[in-house]
């Protein structure tokens, strides 16, 4: 195992600091390292593996399609793209979808689209369009996107950045209303801020944002790259409040944990601004990604993953909240997207997830103080309970743990 780590350290760029485990195999919610040691995955590649490792239907479609037709570019039509786009529109309630590969590309697509809408439809003077974003946002790592991050490390050393972004505090509708100007094209928001530490906004926030955006002729674009496709207990997190945005960005789980597949989905009045040649990507919408993405959307519905996330997420949240530990300062989340906030004076989140690794649970720290739990949605109730026992064992290494009465 240490040989593999040494190779990565010698030849890889040092832009990641992985936990010291070398994974070799996965099945369902479980991963095995090169020594055959088994771990319960409570991260699912930040929601990319929401449907579990090696889902038989997804792997079957991948194999069959890879042998038939994979990449042709968008210079031609393929027999897989149309059905995928149709299903994407059904699932999101949007009129059109623009497929890309990574989440960040989906976000870049949305930014280009809303800016063009601002100039062509709203009548914003050329070069003046603004997008309102939230403090604590995470929308990816391109130079445009990190330019509007509030996280110093994401920006440091990577400027100059493109202008036209105005930050407001997350969860604050009055601040959103104040930030809108005649040049505002859109409000770009995550329904739950994942990377910021699983930050859930006040109830009614997105619905309120929708009302404000409607009143002010501003587009509402929701980044569901992490929260979408069942993760929070609904197919889309916006369904918790019956929100109707103008655009939705999907990614991660859309590729079934097998491929990078993302999409920007929008209303006709918004997406209609694109003309041939305005935007594209060699791999976006390729037949292989389209076939797997379509099957991922089918599996999501047929195997009721959103319902599983709702009930198992409630179980995990309740059992974690029942653990009384001086180390834990908060437990929060929605569906199977849960954050355990730790007292940094007692343990860093990084040290805690390394302890969890020793106990057979894979998780990841975020923001120094939060361990996040977002297992594949195929996880069972017994596996959730097993994880809670391991989390309790890990917490015991830092102080006593009592079970609170439920």
Q: Which parts of this chain interact with ligand PLP (CB under 6 A)? A: 46, 102-104, 107, 138-140, 190, 194-195, 223, 225-226, 251
Cβ within 8 Å of residue 241, ≥6 positions away: 203, 204, 206, 207
Asked about 138 being catalytic, the answer comes back as yes
- Dihedral sign from CA coordinates of 252, 256, 262, 263: negative
CA distances from 295 to 55, 88, 95, 152, 283 (A): 11, 11, 20, 39, 18
The residues pairing with 371 across neighbouring beta strands, listed in sequence order, are 340, 365
User: Which is catalytic among the residues 138, 148, 187, 264?
Assistant: 138
Beta carbons of 143 and 161 less than 8 angstroms apart: yes
53, two tokens: 């490792």
Q: How far apart are CA 238 and CA 300, in angstroms?
A: 16
Choosing from 234, 252, 334, 364, the catalytic residue is: 252
Distance CA 51, CA 257 (A): 7
Please tell me the distance from the alpha carbon of residue 293 to that of residue 287, in angstroms, as a whole number: 10
Q: Which two three-digit tokens encode residue 111?
A: 């930014």
* Nearest CB to ligand PLP, comparing residues 194 and 247: 194
21: closest CA among 13, 11, 8? Answer: 8
Read off the DSSP letter of residue 124. P
Q: What is the dihedral of CA 325, 330, 331, 332, to 10 degrees?
A: 180
Contact in structure between 362 and 41 (CB atoms under 8 Å): yes
Residue 142 Cβ, how far from ligand PLP at the closest point, in Å?
8
Active site residue 223: yes
Q: Quick one: 231 or 319, whose CB is closer to ligand PLP?
A: 231
C-beta closer to ligand PLP: residue 52 or 140: 140
Query: Tokens in use for 379?
Result: 């996880």
Q: Which residue has the tokens 């989390």?
A: 391
Q: How many residues does the chain have?
A: 406
Give the residue numbers annotated as catalytic, written as ranges: 138, 223, 252
């Amino acid at each position: 195992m240490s040989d593999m780590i040494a190779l990565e350290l010698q030849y890889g760029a040092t832009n990641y600091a992985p936990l010291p485990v070398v994974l070799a195999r996965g099945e369902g919610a479980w991963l095995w390292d090169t020594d055959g040691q088994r771990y319960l995955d409570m991260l699912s590649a930040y929601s990319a593996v929401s449907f579990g490792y090696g889902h038989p239907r997804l792997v079957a479609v991948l194999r069959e399609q890879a042998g038939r037709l994979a990449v042709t570019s968008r210079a031609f039509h393929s027999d897989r793209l149309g059905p995928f786009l149709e299903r994407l529109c059904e699932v999101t309630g949007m009129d059109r979808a623009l497929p890309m590969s990574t989440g960040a590309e989906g976000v870049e697509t949305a930014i280009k689209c809303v800016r063009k809408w601002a100039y062509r439809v709203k009548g914003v003077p050329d070069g003046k369009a603004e997008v309102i974003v939230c403090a604590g946002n995470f929308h990816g790592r391109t130079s445009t996107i990190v330019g509007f991050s509030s996280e110093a490390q994401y920006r440091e050393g990577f400027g100059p950045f493109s202008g036209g972004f105005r930050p407001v505090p997350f969860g604050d509708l009055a601040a959103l209303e104040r930030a809108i100007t005649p040049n505002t094209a859109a409000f770009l928001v995550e329904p739950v801020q994942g990377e910021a530490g699983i930050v859930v906004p006040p109830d009614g926030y997105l619905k309120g944002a929708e009302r404000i955006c409607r009143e002010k002729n501003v587009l509402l674009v929701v980044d569901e790259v992490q929260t979408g496709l069942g993760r929070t207990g609904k197919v889309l997190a916006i369904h918790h409040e019956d929100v109707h945005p103008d655009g939705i960005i999907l990614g991660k789980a859309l590729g079934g944990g097998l491929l990078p597949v993302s999409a920007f989905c929008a209303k006709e009045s918004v997406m209609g601004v694109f003309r041939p040649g305005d935007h594209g990507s060699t791999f976006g919408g390729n037949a292989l990604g389209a076939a797997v993405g379509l099957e991922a959307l089918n599996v999501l519905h047929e195997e009721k993953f959103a319902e599983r996330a709702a009930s198992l997420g409630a179980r995990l949240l309740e059992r974690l909240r029942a653990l009384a530990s001086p180390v834990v300062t908060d437990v929060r989340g929605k569906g199977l997207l849960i954050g355990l906030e730790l007292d940094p004076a007692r343990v860093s989140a990084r040290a805690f997830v390394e302890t969890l690794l020793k106990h057979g649970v894979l998780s990841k720290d975020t923001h120094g103080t939060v361990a996040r739990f977002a297992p594949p949605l195929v996880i069972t109730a017994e596996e959730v309970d097993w994880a809670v026992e391991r989390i309790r064992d890990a917490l015991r290494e830092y102080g006593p743990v009592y079970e609170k009465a439920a």
